[in-house]
Each structure stands twice: as structure tokens, then as C-alpha cells.
């Protein structure tokens, strides 16, 4: 069974998902919360219903996506490449092929993280700047290896003080 601190941590995470997640994750968080509450002993209930922690201010909203998030999400567990049209912050459009490995839910934006064939590196792509996405063939790598390599790249960049 979960300790009171562990219960607090789990419910903090669920509240964060409520604020920043998409429809799929918000529904999953609601279901998980109900299941956990159903089995928590009375002393653990207070950590869930009277929290000592909050996830911060509610996100102010997210820009609209031109491509449904579910389309991007579906490529991740099936190891499928995505051919995308991406518009950067200056309004320049590029064609990219990415190997998506994760979705990120930030305070004011959602991103898909993936290996970019054009840049030969991992990149974050704001989902609201993807104007078109087509699911293609499988990429030639294991997702677990890509995630490991992605975190190694992040460590290298932050170790040198660089920001991607």
C-alpha cells in the first residue's frame, strides 16, 4: 500500500495531468484517481482529498492543433515515422521526417519529441506548429534505445550549458 507521501505524489501527478493533459490522459487520470481512492485506507484518503501540494497555476490554454494529437500519439507505440510540415517560430515552413518517441505537456504548449532525419538529432516540435502529418513506415530503431539516446543528448547539452 502507498504511504501518505507516496499518495500525495501520485495525486499531485494526477492533478498536473488534469491541468495539462489531452483528452486521453485526462480521462485516464480520472479513472486512475477513482481506482486508487477505492482501495486507499481511511488514513490515506486525506492525502488524496485534502492535498498539501498543488501543481502550480492552471495552464492558460494551449494553441489549437491542426493535426489531432491522437494522430501523433498513434505513431509512437507503433514505431512509425511521421512526415510533417513544420512551421517554426519565425513562420518558415520545412518538411521533416521524424521518429516520434514522446509527447510532452508543458505549461503553454504541447510537443512531440523525436529524432529528426533532417537535423540528425533529437528535436522538440510544438504540436500547434505541425500543419500536416502523415504516418509512414516503421523507423529502423527500438524506441527504448531512442529514448535512452535522447536523454543522453539532453545531458550533454545541459552539461555544456547549451539549450536546444
CB atoms inside a 10 Å sphere around CB 142: 10
Q: How many CA atoms lie within 13 A of 75 on its CB side?
A: 27
pLDDT tens for 24-82 read: 999 999 999 999 999 988 877 877 788 888 787 776 777 888 998 999 999 999 999 99
Torsion on CA atoms 79, 80, 85, 88, rounded to nearest 10: 0
pLDDT at residue 161, rounded to an integer:
44
Q: Where are the alpha helices (DSSP H) in the chain?
A: 4-20, 23-39, 42-49, 69-75, 143-159
Instruction: Please tell me whether the overall predicted TM-score, pTM, comes out greater than 0.85 for this model.
Output: no
Q: Give percent of the chain with pLDDT exceeding 70.
A: 95
Give the C-alpha separation, 22 to 140, whole Å: 28
- The span from the CA of 36 to the CA of 14, in Å, is 11
At residue 52, the pLDDT reads 82
Q: Which domains does the chain have, with CATH numbers?
A: 4-49 (no CATH), 69-159 (2.30.30)
Amino acid at each position: 500500500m502507498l504511504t501518505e507521501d507516496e499518495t500525495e505524489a501520485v495525486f499531485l501527478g494526477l492533478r498536473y495531468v488534469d491541468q495539462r493533459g489531452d483528452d486521453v490522459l485526462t480521462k485516464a487520470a480520472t479513472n486512475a484517481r477513482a481506482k486508487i481512492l477505492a482501495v486507499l485506507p481511511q488514513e490515506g484518503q486525506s492525502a488524496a482529498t485534502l492535498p498539501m501540494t498543488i501543481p502550480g497555476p492552471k495552464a492558460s490554454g494551449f494553441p489549437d492543433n491542426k493535426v489531432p494529437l491522437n494522430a501523433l500519439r498513434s505513431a509512437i507505440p507503433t514505431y512509425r515515422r511521421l512526415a510533417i510540415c513544420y512551421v517554426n517560430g519565425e513562420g518558415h515552413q520545412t518538411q521533416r521526417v521524424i521518429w516520434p518517441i514522446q509527447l510532452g505537456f508543458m505549461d503553454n504548449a504541447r510537443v512531440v519529441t523525436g529524432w529528426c532525419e533532417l537535423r540528425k538529432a533529437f528535436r522538440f516540435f510544438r504540436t500547434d506548429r505541425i500543419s500536416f502529418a502523415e504516418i509512414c513506415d516503421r523507423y529502423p530503431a527500438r524506441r527504448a534505445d531512442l529514448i535512452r539516446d535522447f536523454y543522453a543528448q539532453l545531458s550533454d547539452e545541459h552539461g555544456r550549458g547549451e539549450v536546444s
